[in-house]
Structure 1
Amino acid sequence: MKAALCPQPGHLTLVDRPAPGSPPPGWVRLAVSHVGICGTDYHIFEGKHPFLEYPRVMGHELSGTVSESGEGVAIRPGTRVVVNPYLSCGTCHACRRGKPNCCINIKVLGVHTDGALCEEILVPAGNLYPADGLSPEAAATVEFLAIGAHAVRRSQAEAGSRALVIGAGPIGLGTALFSRVAGHRVTLLDASAERLAMAAERFGFTEGILAGDSARAAVLAATEDAGFDVVFDATGHAGSMEAAFSFVGHGGTLVLVSVVKDDIRFSDPEFHKREMTLIGSRNATKVDFEHVMAALRAGDVPVEALVTHRTTLDGLPADLPRWAHEKAGLIKAIVTIREN
């Protein structure tokens, strides 16, 4: 039997479940090492995720070591890996166009199917990327950073562009970091002065705007009344996403990194007179994971500043409920399943 952590809304329970058998052809058995906790996991815990059936083993930000390979798999046991948690069908229209991140039949580990808050998991070998040169903890941050890296790549904004990232949570910070890697001049906007101060202290994002009635004036002051060349909204808040349209300069781009269930409304005349580009960004692809891993190896992304909280599988039933409500100082929490 293997330990796993299954939530019901508002509570977590450690349970035993049968160990997975030998992996089928094209799959591997993975010994899970470290798992990151993200906003989706907090929503699952609180019963707020609209597309999830309980019980569900959470965990989609993970690193591990291959313990057994199925037939036809080249990656060898003992290889430390990063896991792409987006399981695509490979045959739908999106997959055939090279966009498995928005596969029509996508299943995300820890959301549509059981995830990695357990000792072992079976995953397709094609979703594994060797984590050479990365610590197991750093490897567990790759997935959430790839979300931001994908959004920046989708924007096609050139080096030297003035970029505004709205939302200084983990996804927003990841987006800001890879916007900076791309050579953009980055400003953050957030409703929390504490988060803006933390972003300045930990990551050097000294240009910050506090959300509120004066935000529009601050945006104009920061851009000589022109607006930003590219704006990324990573808030998951419909009101913020609607307000973001007014922060984009003429000829600029708005990238919606987060998703909400609400309808998003905007002024068509304002949109058209700017000849604005509106982009949705979903998940990430192999090229984004590889870009993140290269940036981590090069020291362009300070993992030590991102990981603020740590726990174990045994400690998570007590720690996650507290972190769901006590956000002060929290950027990324990591669960150690095993050291390897």
Structure 2
Amino acid sequence: MKALVCIEPGRLALEDRTDPVRAEGEVKVRIRHVGICGTDFHIFGGKHPFLEYPRVMGHELSGTVEEAPSGSSLKSGQPVYIVPYLSCGTCQACRRGITNACRNIEVLGVHRDGGMAEYVCVPESNVIPTGNIPLEDAAMIEFLAIGAHGVKRGAITAEDRVLVTGSGPIGMSAIIFAKARGAHVTVMDTREDRLAFAVEKLGADETIFADADAEQTAERQTGGEWYDVVIDATGNAIPMQRGFNFLAHGARYVLLSVVRQDITFSDPEFHKREATLIASRNAQPDDFAEVVRQIEAGRVPTRALNTHRAPLADAVHLFSEWFKPEAGVIKAILDV
């Protein structure tokens, strides 16, 4: 089979590899579409904290069943998407149902080779029928589930004033699901085009340009009350730390981002607000189901989100182009 391999930071190659052999309890999936995530760009740029090279990237996956175990409800040719988090099922987190934070978790495309290839074999429990969702849309379910999980972690309601910092794909997914819960959503970023997209396509209520005056703008927009929930999706330690400045009294701060560096904050300011700091990692089965419901309900503008498409083979030279901000990529999908 053909597989796209990140040999080392900044270098990709399309290789011929042996087709994977399905183990007991696994499903062999013929990959049809792969969404490119910020994680993949971090791997390509050498910035991912949990990875060794070489690596076949790709964890936003949809395809068709090639082979399934005897007695499986999955049938050959059936359209499916893949949940890329392989949990152990036995650790303390898994026993409590927090499989997204499994102590021994392996994520496709990060801890083990992923789906930028013609075939992949994964446990049957990680293979989910797409239902009425087109396969190209199903390749976006995973990144949308990340945002849905963060919104759930923040316990967002229609009563909340929410600030999403960072309007990349993960930030956009947080906007979509915060709006689905009826919240008033403000988006902060340094890119005017992304801010405009958030309002025009995602229904964000207000925007803030992330310059030196952002705090003054936020104070004015909120009447000095700040935000009930702040969701960071910047992937950068400096704005992650700055996000503490925007918390209302009693607020929740949800960190969707993960960075290598330590982040710090003022303990007196944090305490006097009785604020809550929340990590949000990966997603859980109910988050994937929520994404499917919202796509089927027409509340996710999948066509607008998918800005770039290309065959897998073209990614060898396109990756470095799509990596640049001026390319205007929101969600790129590779067709396999």
TM-score by length of 1: 0.96
CA distance in 2, matches of 1:170, 1:180: 15
Q: In structure 1, what residue type is equivalent to 2:223? A: E
**1:20 is matched with which residue?**
20
SS across alignment from 2:24: coil
Superposed, 1:221-240 pairs within 5 Å as 221-240=220-239
* Residue 75 (structure 1) aligns with: 74
Aligned position for 2:203: 204
Q: Do 2:184 and 2:205's aligned partners in 1 also have CA atoms closer than 8 Å?
A: no
User: Quick check: 1:87–1:106 contact (8 Å CA) kept in 2?
Assistant: yes
User: 1:106 & 1:15 partners in 2: Cα distance?
Assistant: 27
Q: Residues of 2 paired with 1:278 and 1:49: CA distance?
A: 23
CA distance in 1, matches of 2:176, 2:326: 21
1:26 touches 1:73 (CA, 8 Å); kept in 2? no
Structure 2 runs not aligned, ≥5 long: none
What's the secondary structure of 1:75's corresponding residue? coil
Give matches, 1:82-161, under 5 Å: 82-161=81-160
Instruction: State the secondary structure of the residue aligned to 1:150.
Output: helix
User: Runs of at least 4 residues of structure 1 off by over 6 A?
Assistant: none
Contact 2:185 2:205 in 1 (8 A): no
Whether the aligned pair in 1 keeps the contact of 2:49 and 2:260 (CA below 8 Å) is no
CA–CA separation in structure 1 for the residues paired with 2:202 and 2:178: 13
Partner residue in 1 for 2:304 = 305
| Residue matched to 2:245 | 246
Distance across 1 between alignment mates of 2:218 and 2:204: 16
Q: Using the alignment, how far apart are the partners of 1:50 and 1:199 within structure 2?
A: 29
One-letter amino acid of the counterpart of residue 330, structure 1: V
- Which has the higher mean CA deviation after the structures are superposed, 325-334 or 145-154? 325-334
Q: What is the match of residue 329 of structure 1?
A: 328
Hey, what's the Cα distance between the residues in 1 that align with 2:92 and 2:206?
A: 42
Cα deviation code 1:7-66 (max 9, x no counterpart) = 122121111111122x22211000101000011111211222232222111100010111
Cα separation, 2, equivalents of 1:290 and 1:249: 31
Hey, what's the Cα distance between the residues in 2 that align with 1:297 and 1:29?
26
Cα separation, 2, equivalents of 1:101 and 1:221: 38
Q: Answer whether contact 2:67 2:76 (CA < 8 A) is retained.
A: yes
Aligned mates of 2:47, 2:240 — CA distance in 1: 20
> 1:196·1:208 contact (CA, 8 Å) conserved in 2?
yes
What does residue 286 of structure 2 align with? 287
For structure 1, which segment, 323-332 or 235-244, has the greater mean C-alpha deviation from structure 2 after superposition? 323-332
Aligned partners of 1:163 and 1:206: how far apart in 2?
10
Unaligned runs of 5+ in 1: none
Whole-angstrom CA distance in 2 between matches of 1:155 and 1:95: 21
The answer as to 2:256 corresponding to 1:257 is yes
What code does the residue aligned with 1:228 have?
Y
Q: Say whether 1:10 aligns with 2:10.
A: yes
Q: Structure 1 pair 75/187, CA: closer, same or farther in 2 (3 Å)?
A: same
Distance in 2 separating the partners of 1:68 and 1:146: 26
Contact 1:252/1:274 (8 A) holds in 2? yes
Larger CA deviation: 186-195 vs 279-288: 186-195
8 A contact 1:24–1:71 mirrored in 2: no
Check conservation: 2:311, 2:335, Cα contact below 8 A: yes
Q: How does 1:269-288 map to 2 (within 5 A)?
A: 269-288=268-287
Instruction: Output the CA distance in 2 between the equivalents of 1:226 and 1:203.
Output: 24
Amino acid at match of 1:301: V
The whole-number CA distance in structure 1 between the counterparts of 2:76 and 2:90 is 28
Contact kept in structure 1, 2:151 and 2:177, CA below 8 Å:
yes
Maintained 8 Å contact 1:25/1:71: no
Partners of 1:54 and 1:265 lie apart in 2 by: 31
Matches within 5 A, 1:213-228: 213-228=212-227
Task: Tell which deviates more after alignment, 39-48 or 141-150.
Answer: 39-48
Q: What do residues 284-327 of structure 1 show as CA deviations (whole Å, max 9, x unaligned)?
A: 01000000011001101110110000111111111111111244
- In 2, distance between residues paired with 1:4 and 1:210? 40
Query: 1:68 Cα shift?
Result: 0.6
Aligned equivalents of 1:50, 1:275: Cα separation in 2: 31
SS at match of 1:203: coil
1:231 counterpart SS class: strand
1:169 corresponds to which letter in structure 2?
A: G
User: In 1, Cα distance between the equivalents of 2:147 and 2:263?
Assistant: 21
CA RMSD after TM alignment: 1.2
Report if aligned partners of 1:25, 1:73 keep a CA contact under 8 Å in 2: no
Whether the aligned pair in 2 keeps the contact of 1:59 and 1:116 (CA below 8 Å) is yes
